[in-house]
């Protein structure tokens, strides 16, 4: 399917699914099933399709990774709308399956709804990343949303390594992430959030962005975080809040041996710091190790998280860090 390029109008740049006058393009919905297999109990059925004339994108992606001998395979790859994975990659050999999540419109406009579900079954190892920053466009009134559900089975490993999310001034959106871990599973994940387009001198002065993040292990919550950012909120400038910063990032890891190895891992991780000198912290919580970045440079945040990942991955996953090639393109 061809997606049209950006069009410039008097109001600025429209998302690629709009005409220059702001009207929504009528592009037929599509659905593809790759190597169909019975849906795992950890995955929910695909929800109902929206009509073709809907004024907003509705997209879903459902992935299931399984162990087949010594190889991790992408057993299920179902998508609806402009959200997909092209193919499974094996830059480290058969044991680790790397996938790149693609969203051809390259941004989320008001009213768009994205759902991503990924299940890593017992003994499998999956790594998910994205080719570039996610963009949340200014809304004309309707809220946009993204819901991510990740589940990791017994003895399985998931690395969730997306690039940053950029929230344009005037965006109205929510992002909800839930990670469900089995008792002896392994997880490394990060998220970097940019309020406004700092490179263009834009600040997040209007709009609203809601965040919800939850991590469970064996049904018991390890971490629950909820945040709401309004463009006019004084907490964005307050020392008790964002202190005028525009970029906030969180890295989390959890694995069975962490309680024993947390002290040494903390010591090793604290030897590295963001190159821009931004505020940062690393701490160990029950069942989790967490790093935070608060500054004004998304690239510095990503580089710091990548450096921490290179320290944590051998301990958590038993493998040296191999930078995904897509990050260098």
Facing residues of 117 across strands?
Answer: 62, 149
pLDDT of residue 55: 62
Intra-chain end-to-end CA distance of the chain, in Å: 23
Tell me the pLDDT tens digit for each residue of 19-68.
333 333 333 333 333 333 333 334 444 443 433 334 678 999 999 999 99
pLDDT band at 17 (very low <50, low <70, confident <90, very high): very low
The rounded mean pLDDT for the chain is 85
Which residue shows structure tokens 């999956």?
126
Q: State whether residue 81 is helix, strand or coil.
A: coil
* Residue 132 CB partners (closer than 8 Å, separation 6+): 106, 163
Tell me the pLDDT tens digit for each residue of 100-111.
999 888 789 999
Length of the chain: 329
Tell me the pLDDT tens digit for each residue of 184-212.
999 999 999 999 998 888 999 999 999 99
Tell me the pLDDT tens digit for each residue of 141-165.
899 999 999 999 999 999 999 999 9
80: number of Cβ within 10 Å: 22
Distance of CA 219 to the CA centre of its chain: 22
* Domain map (residue ranges) of the chain: 16-43+52-328
Exposure b/e, 226-237, CB count within 10 A at least 16 = b = eeebebeeeebe
Distance of CA 224 to the CA centre of its chain: 16
Which tokens go with 10?
């008097």
């Amino acid at each position: 399917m061809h997606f049209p390029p950006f069009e410039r109008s008097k109001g600025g740049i429209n998302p690629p699914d709009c005409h220059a006058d702001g009207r929504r393009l009528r592009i037929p919905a599509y659905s593809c099933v790759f190597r169909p297999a019975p849906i795992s109990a950890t995955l929910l059925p695909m929800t109902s399709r929206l009509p073709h004339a809907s004024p907003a994108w509705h997209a879903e992606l459902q992935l299931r990774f399984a162990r087949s001998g010594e190889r991790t395979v992408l057993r299920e790859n179902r998508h609806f709308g402009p959200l997909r994975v092209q193919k499974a990659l094996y830059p480290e050999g058969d044991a680790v399956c790397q996938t790149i999540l693609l969203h051809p419109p390259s941004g989320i406009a008001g009213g768009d709804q994205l759902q991503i579900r990924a299940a890593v079954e017992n003994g499998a190892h999956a790594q998910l990343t994205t080719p570039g920053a996610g963009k949340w466009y200014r809304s004309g009134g309707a809220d946009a949303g993204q819901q991510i559900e990740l589940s990791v089975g017994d003895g399985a490993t998931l690395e969730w390594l997306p690039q940053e999310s950029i929230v344009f001034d005037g965006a109205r959106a929510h992002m909800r992430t839930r990670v469900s871990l089995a008792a002896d599973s392994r997880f490394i994940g990060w998220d970097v959030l940019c309020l406004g387009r700092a490179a263009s001198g834009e600040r997040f002065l209007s709009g609203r962005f809601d965040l919800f993040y939850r991590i469970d292990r064996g049904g018991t919550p390890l971490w629950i975080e909820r945040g709401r950012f309004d463009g006019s909120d004084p907490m964005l400038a307050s020392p008790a809040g964002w202190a005028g910063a525009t970029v906030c990032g969180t890295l989390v890891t959890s694995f069975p041996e962490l309680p024993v190895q947390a002290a040494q891992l903390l010591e090793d991780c604290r030897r590295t710091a963001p190159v821009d000198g931004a505020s940062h912290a690393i701490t160990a919580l029950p069942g989790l190790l967490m790093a935070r970045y608060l500054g004004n440079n998304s690239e510095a945040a990503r580089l710091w998280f990548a450096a921490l990942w290179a320290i944590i991955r051998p301990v958590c996953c038993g493998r040296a860090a191999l930078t995904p090639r897509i990050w260098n393109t």
